[in-house]
A = this chain, B = another copy of it.
Amino acid sequence: MTKARAALTELEGAILGVLRRAPETTAYAVRKVFAESWSAEWSGSAGAVYPAIQRLARGGLIRVKRTGDRRGGQTCSPTVLGARLHDDWLCDVARAAGPGMDPFRTRAALWSFLPKSRRKHLMATLARETRSLRDEIRLGLAQRSAPDALTDTMVLALLDERLRWLGQAR
């Protein structure tokens, strides 16, 4: 390695995480994992995932292996180097300990600018949407693998907190 690699981005770290949990995975399958995640922040768009995987491959963090099929499928697996750098990414306390970015929290302090009727309507809609999302996650929880269930549980805690704040938990 002539040039020290910059630290992994969030997306690269998340991709490596998927690959560590399920090696021999195609880029397409990685995309689906993101697309099915509850957070809209990572859409798993092709223009993000494929270049990121190319970067990881060029840096020697993952190994790409062609599957025999005619579709040109190729599976990715983390290398030893990839796992080591991913460990460092996991231990990046400065990033892991930050509060992150929450669109609800960003807006909450500003909803007071809305006319009262519109605000009331919004609060009701938000509560409805939040309960709906919460119930959907709860229902799926049983079928989830342990790590996914952990993540889902943390999302549920967040949604419950929002509902408490909205004042209509139920």
Contact = CB atoms under 8 A, between A and B. Distances in A.
B122 A93 contact: yes
A87 B41 contact: no
Interface residues of A, number: 56
A129 interface: yes
A135 interface: no
A40 B126 CA distance: 26
A155 B96 contact: no
A170 to B, nearest CB: 14
Contact of A109 (B95, B105, B150, B165): B150
Nearest to A83: B113
A140 interface: no
B114 A151 contact: no
Nearest to A104: B96
A122 B98 CA distance: 15
A38 B94 CA distance: 12
A41 B112 contact: no
Contact of A113 (B86, B114, B126, B161): B86
Interface in A111-156: 111-114, 118, 122, 125-126, 129-130, 133, 147-148, 150-151, 154-155
Nearest to A150: B109
A100 B102 contact: yes
Interface string A23-48: 00000000000000011111000000
A71 B99 CA distance: 35
